[in-house]
Chain A
Amino acid sequence: MSMRNFVLPIFCVASGGMAFAQTDSAARTVADLPAEIEETGERAPSPPPLSSADDGAPVDLATNQYGIGSPASEEQIAQIDIDVMPDGRGLPEGRGTYAEGETLYADRCLACHGENLEGVAELGAPKLVGGRDSLASDQPVKTVESYWPYASTLFDYVHRAMPMDSPGSLTPDEVYALSAYILGQSGITSDDADAVLNAESFAQVTMPNADGFVEDPRGRGQTE
């Protein structure tokens, strides 16, 4: 169950007090036409949008208080805060093994990324492994193994957006397992069947191209 799947109903509840909210529980599918003003037949303008702030929230423009917007609770943030950073911040609890990843890969990833993680160009699915030491050549091969500077990006992206046919559906355990398999196939982590990745070991992974990215060196107004 993706985290995103239960965000929507909660928002619906939260917006129950809003100006345009439907009184019935069914989600609307389109907007109604503006109402007609009886006396003249004109179309009514949209009512001024309501703020989610409490009635009488203080207004003080000098201190950026508009009496508009609401505090976001930790629970509300946690529901959608799914990013993972290079230092391991954001990695969820969980664990997965290379062997579990291999099974999952066959089930959820292979159809697009190929039996040997080689990618299927016709489906727009990129190659995941190989290409190390090719980046300075005439035929650079950019893969997770050869190009991606941080393992955190692999976890973050697979968790948020893969697989294409059911994005965001993989559990943290599944993403750890798939990462263990992809990084194991890349020779970056162990390819022993019982090799484990979890939050702690994941943050220790160093990618081959970790030092391969530079800031754009050009000064202001400088062509190249």
Chain B
Amino acid sequence: MAERLVALEDQILGGDADEDCDCKDGMFNGLSRRHVLAAGFAVAGGAMTTGRAMAEAPPGAIEYPVQPDPTKEQGRTILDDGGYGSRSQFENEVRWRYPTASLDSSWSMTPLAAGFGIITPSGLHFERHHGGIPTIDPETHELILHGMVDQPLRFTMGDLKRLPSVSRLHFIECSGNGLTEWVQPTLKTVQGTHGLTSTSEWTGVRLSTVLDMAGIQDGAAWILAEGADAAVMTRSVPIDKAMDDAILAYAQNGEALRPEQGYPLRLLLPGYEGNTHIKWLRRLEVSDRPFMTREETSKYTDLMPDGNARQFSLEMDAKSVITFPSGAMKLPRPGFYEITGLAWSGRGAITKVEVSADGGATWQEAALEGPVLPKCHTRFRLPWTWKGEEAVLQSRAMDDTGYTQPTLAKLVEVRGLKSVYHLNAIQSWHIAPDGEVTNVHA
């Protein structure tokens, strides 16, 4: 599976995966280790009468003895967790790493099917790293702002935390979200097809605050953001965006950023493709033109059928997906189910989500759960009675610019099959008479 995906990804990304190589074995370290572990557990479990004795608490949980009757003895004592809580040992959702060949440059996906509401738990926020996750002491981290400004400035984390702050709920979506799904349904779950989007509450300083402090000079049009990771990741951002709603974020969901989200400082560009939200931010340079970095030329550009490539498609188009029911689930029996999912747009607020149970022939308006915020995941719900017949579930989102989420056919008609990024087509989940839910193109 991993080899097949890597080969597919390589074809999609335009590399050459056709040549085989006997050095493949052992390349997929993360995956093979997990497979070995899983196999080991299965064997051990089968051989023992109490198979669960071999189990470990899931990541983020601590295993405590399960009490036969918790009303008949005291529970564990307070602060047993050291003062920072953990999740229940019976909750097991984890990010899943897409099996890229390199562990240093890879991505992990949010288990959207298990999510509730609109906030992604920080520990389940998707990741995309191009050079691993750096470990940075915030006491030594600084941000330098220079270029076409009257006064170049230097900020410690202490400085930034003393400046006026804002807190905003916003999604971040990688523009590669769904890249496996252009040609044919490939991954089976909504985590695999859509898991490169997550929502957090972000807190930090408005970028416009520090730009005003420095004084932008006439002719300034772009600003380079640079990270302090091994990729020294760089992207150019239009100055209008920087002055509009960009945030120098140091906090996520009420606490400091997680290391994999850019601790101690990341750029947040609400609604823009994920790669531009530079993590471990160390430098901002104001300029009169874009810097044409690797990630905005050779990557994150959409190759069109005529051989030209669209560049700087920065705002993520409106998109939605049904997270329940979704791929690789099985509805146990006919009856009532609440269809639910997420919708979001990089241009503004979601105004409407419609759901179809017949592959797009007829549509019903879903209820939007508040708050409905601009550039943020929006939860939708629709009551549904499944009669045990074949069905194809779809959702389509509309935003306040009048944009309607397109079908895959409509996207492919214009963009062809080689553009890799920015796939925001309507997703179809096929429900078989036996309740099996599968990823299909319909």
Q: Given the complex of chains A and B, what is the CA–CA distance between A82 and B156 in angstroms? A: 20
Q: Does B37 contact A (CB under 8 A)?
A: no
**Given A72-B152, A126-B15, A220-B347, residue A153 in contact with residue B403 (CB < 8 A):** no
Q: Does B158 contact A (CB under 8 A)?
A: yes
Q: Does B97 contact A (CB under 8 A)?
A: no
C-beta contact mask, A126-166 vs B, less than 8 Å → 1, else 0?
Answer: 11000100011000111010011110110011001100100
Q: How far is the CB of A134 from chain B (nearest CB, A)?
A: 8
In the bound complex, residues from chain B placing their C-beta under 8 Å from that of A136 are: 305-307
Q: Does B188 contact A (CB under 8 A)?
A: no
Which candidate, A11-19, A101-109, A184-192, is the interface stretch facing chain B?
A: A11-19
Q: Does A53 contact B (CB under 8 A)?
A: yes
**Given A11-B140, A83-B291, A224-B413, residue A76 in contact with residue B311 (CB < 8 A):** no
- Beta-carbon nearest neighbor of A43 in chain B: B83
C-beta contact mask, B86-102 vs A, less than 8 Å → 1, else 0?
Answer: 00000000000000111
Q: Is the CB of B16 within 8 A of A121?
A: yes
Q: Does B282 contact A (CB under 8 A)?
A: yes
The listed residue (B101, B291, B298, B406) touching A147 by CB distance below 8 A is B298
Q: Does B303 contact A (CB under 8 A)?
A: yes
A contact face: mostly helix, strand, loop, or mixed:
loop
C-beta contact mask, B206-217 vs A, less than 8 Å → 1, else 0?
Answer: 000110110000
**Given A72-B146, A135-B303, A220-B401, residue A83 in contact with residue B234 (CB < 8 A):** yes
- Beta-carbon nearest neighbor of A133 in chain B: B307
Q: Is the CB of B309 within 8 A of A153?
A: no
Q: Does A58 contact B (CB under 8 A)?
A: no
Q: Does A70 contact B (CB under 8 A)?
A: yes
Q: How far is the CB of B101 from chain A (nearest CB, A)?
A: 4
Q: Does B310 contact A (CB under 8 A)?
A: yes
In the bound complex, residues from chain B placing their C-beta under 8 Å from that of A11 are: 140-142
Q: Interface size for chain B: under 10, 10 to 19, 20 to 34, or 35 or more residues?
A: 35 or more
Q: Given the complex of chains A and B, what is the CA–CA distance between A117 and B353 in angstroms? A: 48
Q: Given the complex of chains A and B, what is the CA–CA distance between A12 and B142 in angstroms? A: 10
Q: Is the CB of A21 within 8 A of B157?
A: no
In the bound complex, residues from chain B placing their C-beta under 8 Å from that of A22 are: 139
Instruction: Tell me the chain A residues, 15-29 only, with Cβ under 8 Å from chain B.
Output: 15, 18-22, 27-28
Q: Given the complex of chains A and B, what is the CA–CA distance between A12 and B404 in angstroms? A: 51
The listed residue (B105, B161, B231, B287) touching A49 by CB distance below 8 A is B161
Q: Does A54 contact B (CB under 8 A)?
A: no
C-beta contact mask, A45-70 vs B, less than 8 Å → 1, else 0?
Answer: 00011111100000000001110111
Q: Does B4 contact A (CB under 8 A)?
A: no
Q: Is the CB of B144 within 8 A of A77?
A: yes
Which candidate, A175-183, A197-205, A208-216, is the interface stretch facing chain B?
A: A208-216
- Beta-carbon nearest neighbor of A126 in chain B: B15
19 examples of A-B residue contacts, CB within 8 angstroms: A20-B139, A48-B162, A49-B162, A64-B212, A72-B154, A80-B283, A83-B234, A121-B16, A124-B100, A124-B101, A136-B307, A140-B307, A149-B297, A150-B292, A160-B234, A161-B294, A167-B230, A216-B312, A224-B410
Extra inter-chain contacts (12) besides given A123-B27, A135-B309, CB under 8 Å: A52-B159, A64-B212, A70-B155, A71-B151, A77-B152, A121-B16, A142-B298, A161-B131, A164-B131, A214-B308, A217-B310, A223-B410
Residues of chain A touching chain B, judged by Cβ–Cβ distance below 8 Å, are 4, 8, 11-12, 14-15, 18-22, 27-28, 48-53, 64-66, 68-73, 76-77, 80-83, 85-86, 118-124, 126-127, 131, 135-136, 140-142, 144, 147-150, 152-153, 156-157, 160-161, 164, 167-168, 212-217, 220-224
